[in-house]
Amino acid sequence: ASDAPAQEPVVELGDMPGVARVQLEGSAALELDYGIPEKMAARIGVGTRVMVPLQNQKVPAVVIELLQSSEHRGKLKEVSSIVGSRPMFTPGLLKLADWVAEYYIVPVHRVLRAMLPQAVRDKPETFLTDSHLKLVKEPPADVLEKMHARAPMQARVIEELRRRKGEATLSELRRDLPSATTVVKALLKHGWISRSEIRVERDPFQTEEFLPTLPLTLTEEQQAAYDHVIGALQKPEEAKPILLHGVTGSGKTEVYLQAIAEVLKKGQTALVLVPEISLTPQTIERFKARFSEKKDSIAVLHSHLSDGERHDEWFKVQEGRADIVIGARSAIFAPLERLGLIIVDEEHEPSYKQEDTPRYQARDLAVLRGRIERCPVLLGSATPSLESFQNALMGKYDLVRMTKRTDGKSMPLIRIIDMRLQRRKGTGTTIANATILSEKLRTAITTRLEKKEQTILFLNRRGFHTTLDCASCGEVVQCQDCAIPMTLHKADNRLVCHICGARRVPPTKCPSCKEPGLKYGGFGTERVEAAVREVFPKARIARVDTDTMQRKNQLRDTLRDFRAQKLDILIGTQMIAKGLDFPNVTLVGVLNADTALNIPDFRAAERTLQLLIQVAGRAGRGELKGEVYVQTHAPHSPAIQFSRHNDFEGFSDQELEHRRAFKYPPYSHMVLVSSRGKHETQAEFTLQTLHKRLLQGLPDGTIMGEPTPSSLSKAHGQFRFQLLMRSDRIRPLARHIQTVMETLSPPPDILVTWDVDPVSL
């Protein structure tokens, strides 16, 4: 199978797999066969990335199959080179890629690209290296003395090495001796030292210390949950995915940790998915501390790593040096082998959905990857997604409940405050006509300050004022590129668009009618901070949102200070809603529970309930009893009423009934087709055309709406239209959409996208 003429490589097929079927990474979803040169045969496997000739170029591709022979027998071009020293995809991941491609209607090469972090794809195996230096001969005293006189730097390096017990890295030496590189060369030449190249991991937690923790004695409920998982680990072929519905504080993480310990004992690996926002130092610390003797075998993958760190963490997994991977949604593609357990924490979190092509749902892929790799999957949440909960009710998943907190305390008391009354009575903390703190909440904070207990105030909006409008003509000052009001950020006195980030100096006259008398309204965290400082001038206050947490480690430091009780009140956005555990917090105030209720999405109620229950879970985690105040203008809405009693199941009964009646997910699959572009009519027309074509041959049982402007009707200067489809069965619909899309050639500046199982409309 070798020695083909140089000009036209030809493979003659013997018994060895001489042919690699590859999927090109770059262009269309194209599978091609290439011959494998004999010298590469041992190093090419399924999942190996290679460069192959195509037309007059060399392009990257992934080997998806090895064949003895090919239909194109006789005249195959050969693989040009191999990328990296090991396969980049496991067989399981290649299967997953095919499934994603079909289900989400995406060409498979786009899926393969998305599976590798960019730094891994673009610069594979570019590790940082360092020189490890060793003193091999001790220069005798007289030699050293001469050295001091003639080459003092050399003498210093020798002494430095001695001080470090004869070993150091070049970069360590260079910290004190910038010229060490040249000096070292001279010493090498004279044979005093030896050098070897070592790889340096860019470890995001290099400087962190982790105090080891021991497994806790499980509560009865935890034990039952744990036993259930262990049962699944023993019979992975029969195991169904497990939905662990555990109230906040019921100790889900402890169950995860102990189950993982069991997996590691069996010589297998574990994958833990966590929403990006909960990938806080605190979460990672809990894992690193429990498995402290193997903490280097924990790989962390999320978007706040530097490219280099992500590259190194990924290769740690690929080279088989990681037993546990903790990561955000894309970590579902981590190339772990011997997978023993996949855990998805806070499985209801919308951030598991990837919002760019391929628009996958990592939680669903976890279930699928579990099936492919025959390993159990554990989904955990205090407020499961209705999709997962419905699967559990139908018996597709096992349902395990943990209803009590580990400390045996009851859930915090939730008080609903009707802000409509506050406004009418004119009580509460009012600044420029907006009530930010109700009187009751203000009193509650005062009590906490007196008792030296802590308060969290939650508001899912950044900025100072959230609207600016004209008193004369009613014009709302909007972003020119996006159809949303701009938010005033007072710290730098700019109006900011929270969609595209556009900034401008606030106008003093109405941009439309030119009258003065513009009025600000609404409030965000910045204004809450100002109000709270005004009302409680002596309190120690910090605000946590993306505006204040710009500096690296600032979030970590602030949370640390709060935990150490150097702060009394923490004000923040969703950055503080999830997974944080502060024993001295006895009061949580939700300043406006209605922001999530008012989104034009059939999941508005579900989102509101999730948020309230999560936020409420931050109160009363320690010895002290917690209280939650929820300020709302819609006190009787089901989401607010059910969250008040922490009654997820009551809510889901009612909400599922409603979803069933209207055939919304989980009683159907939804596909959201959108068009967008700078020209409004073109964007609309494109979608109307598409709508007409989709109508023809629409699979039975599909409900299709009309094209309408999206709820965000303009963003980044582009008009947006959408079309919603629902069906019991996704596959026929997906195939239909794919076929129709292939016939569609939208104008060049109109982008048409589709999203299967969208999480926000």
Annotated binding-site residues for Zn(2+) read 470, 473, 479, 482, 497, 500, 510, 513
Q: Which of 143, 413, 483, 499 binds Zn ion (CB under 5 A)?
A: 499
Plot region of 701 (φ>0 → left; ψ -120 to 50 → alpha; else → beta): left
Footprint of Zn ion on residues 660-689 (CB under 5 A)?
A: none
Task: Give whichever of 33 and 346 is closer to ligand ADP, judged by the CB atom.
Answer: 346
Annotated binding site: 470, 473, 479, 482, 497, 500, 510, 513
Q: Which two tokens stand for residue 73?
A: 């027998």
* 30 scored as a contact of Zn ion (CB under 5 A): no
> Which residue from 298, 290, 340 is spatially nearest to 317, judged by alpha carbons?
298
502 near Zn ion, rule: CB under 5 A: yes
Q: Which residue has the tokens 């109006």?
A: 495
Which of Zn ion, ligand ADP, none does residue 481 bind to, with CB < 5 to 8 Å depending on kind? Zn ion
Nearest to 541, CA basis, from 553, 531, 551: 531
The only residue of 128, 216, 471, 473 in contact with ligand ADP, by rule CB under 6 A: 216
Out of 18, 37, 139, 249, the only residue in the binding site for ligand ADP (CB under 6 A) is: 249
Q: How far apart are CA 225 and CA 343, in angstroms?
A: 13
Q: Determine the 3-state secondary structure of 304 from DSSP.
A: coil
The angle subtended at Cα 344 by Cα 399 and Cα 259, nearest 5°, is 75
> Residue 507 has what DSSP assignment?
P
β-pairing, 269-273 vs 193-200, is unpaired
219 binds ligand ADP (CB under 6 A): yes
CA distances 470 to 432, 487, 513, 681, Å, are 16, 15, 8, 29
SS3 content of the chain, % helix, strand, coil (to 5): 35, 25, 40
| Closest C-alpha to 81, from 13, 22, 12 | 22
Question: If we measure between CA atoms, which residue out of 541, 539, 506, 540 comes closest to residue 525?
Answer: 541
Q: Which helix (H) or strand (E) holds 569?
A: strand 569-572
Indicate the SS3 state at residue 326: strand
211-219, 359-367, 663-671, 724-732 -> range binding ligand ADP (CB under 6 A): 211-219
**Hey, which bits of 365-493 come out as E strands?**
377-381, 398-402, 413-418, 429-431, 434-437, 454-458, 467-470, 487-489
Question: Rounded to the nearest whole angstrom, what is the least distance from the CB of residue 342 to ligand ADP in the complex?
Answer: 17
Give residues with Cβ within 8 angstroms of 492, minimum separation 6.
none
- In whole angstroms, the minimum distance from the beta carbon of 252 to ligand ADP comes to 4
Burial of 237 per CB tally in 10 Å (0-12, 13-18, 19+): exposed
Residue 254 makes contact with ligand ADP by CB under 6 A: yes
Can you read off the two tokens belonging to residue 471? 């008193």
Pick between residue 282 and residue 480 the one whose CB is nearest to Zn ion.
480
CB 383 within 8 A of CB 613: yes
Cβ 527 to Zn ion shortest distance, Å? 21
251 lies in the binding site for ligand ADP (CB under 6 A): yes
Find the binder of ligand ADP among 131, 253, 429, 722 (CB under 6 A): 253
Q: Does 481 bind Zn ion (CB under 5 A)?
A: yes
Report the sign of the C-alpha dihedral through residues 550, 551, 555, 557, in that order. negative
348 touches ligand ADP by CB under 6 A: no
Residue 544 Cβ vs Zn ion, minimum distance, rounded to whole Å: 24
Coil, strand or helix at 736: helix
Residue 216's binding partner among ligand ADP, Zn ion, none (Cβ under 5 to 8 angstroms by kind) is ligand ADP
- Listed ranges 6-14, 244-252, 325-333, 708-716: which one lies at the site for ligand ADP (CB under 6 A): 244-252
> If residue 611 lies in a helix (H) or strand (E), which one and from where to where?
helix 604-616
* Shortest reach from residue 718's CB to Zn ion, in Å: 11
CB under 5 to 8 A by kind: which of Zn ion, ligand ADP, none does 206 bind?
none
In the structure encoding, which two tokens stand for residue 286, read together?
Answer: 């809990």
The interface partner of residue 714, options being ligand ADP, Zn ion, none and the CB cut-off 5 to 8 Å by kind, is: none
Residue 248 touching ligand ADP (CB under 6 A):
yes
Q: Which is nearer to ligand ADP, 224 or 741 (CB)?
A: 224
Q: What is the DSSP letter of 321?
A: -
463 binds ligand ADP (CB under 6 A): no
Among 497, 634, 730, 759, binds Zn ion (CB under 5 A): 497
Residue 727's binding partner out of ligand ADP, Zn ion, none, with CB under 5 to 8 Å set by partner kind: none
Among positions 199-238, residues that touch Zn ion (CB under 5 A) are: none
CB of 498 to Zn ion, least distance (A): 8
The span of 46-54, 109-117, 212-220, 476-484 binding ligand ADP (CB under 6 A) equals: 212-220
| # binding residues, ligand ADP (CB under 6 A) | 15
Q: Give CA–CA dist 542/529, Å, rounded.
A: 8
404 or 736: whose CB is closer to ligand ADP? 404
Nearer to ligand ADP, 126 or 223 (CB): 223
Which of 41, 46, 500, 712: binder of Zn ion (CB under 5 A)?
Answer: 500
User: Which whole-number Å values give the CA distances from 510 to 125, 253, 263, 493, 714, in the listed order?
Assistant: 57, 53, 64, 17, 21
268 contacts ligand ADP (rule: CB under 6 A): no
What is residue 663's DSSP assignment? Answer: T
Residue 485 carries which DSSP code?
Answer: B
Q: How far is the CB of 709 from Zn ion (least distance, A)?
A: 16
3-state secondary structure 115-148: HCCHHHHHCCCCCEEEEEEEECCCCCHHHHHHHH
Cis peptide bond prior to 152, omega within 30° of 0: no
Stretch that binds ligand ADP, among 216-224, 492-500, 566-574, 659-667 (CB under 6 A): 216-224
- Does position 477 interact with Zn ion (CB under 5 A)? The reply is no
Q: Which of 247, 341, 457, 479 binds Zn ion (CB under 5 A)?
A: 479
Question: Least Å distance between CB 213 and ligand ADP?
Answer: 9
Residues numbered 376 to 435 that lie near ligand ADP (CB under 6 A) are 406
The three-state DSSP-derived secondary structure of 215-233 is CCCCCHHHHHHHHHHHHHH
**652 contact choice in ligand ADP, Zn ion, none (CB below 5 to 8 Å, kind-dependent):** none
Interactions with ligand ADP, residue window 566-585 (CB under 6 A) = 581
Out of 66, 218, 539, 704, the only residue in the binding site for ligand ADP (CB under 6 A) is: 218
* Residue 675: strand pairing partners: 721, 752
Q: Which of 219, 422 has the CB closer to ligand ADP?
A: 219
**CA 352 to mean position of chain CA atoms:** 6
Smallest gap from Cβ 211 to ligand ADP, in A, equals 13
In the list Zn ion, ligand ADP, none, the entry touching 330 (Cβ below 5 to 8 angstroms by class) is: none
Residue 258 lies near ligand ADP (rule: CB under 6 A): no
The site that binds Zn ion (CB under 5 A) totals a number of residues, namely: 7
Told to check if 214 binds ligand ADP by CB under 6 A, we report: no
Residue 626 near ligand ADP by CB under 6 A? no
Q: Are 249 and 621 in contact (CB under 8 A)?
A: yes
The contact set with Zn ion (CB under 5 A) reads 479, 481-482, 497, 499-500, 502
Interface residues toward ligand ADP, by CB under 6 A: 216-219, 222, 246, 248-254, 406, 581
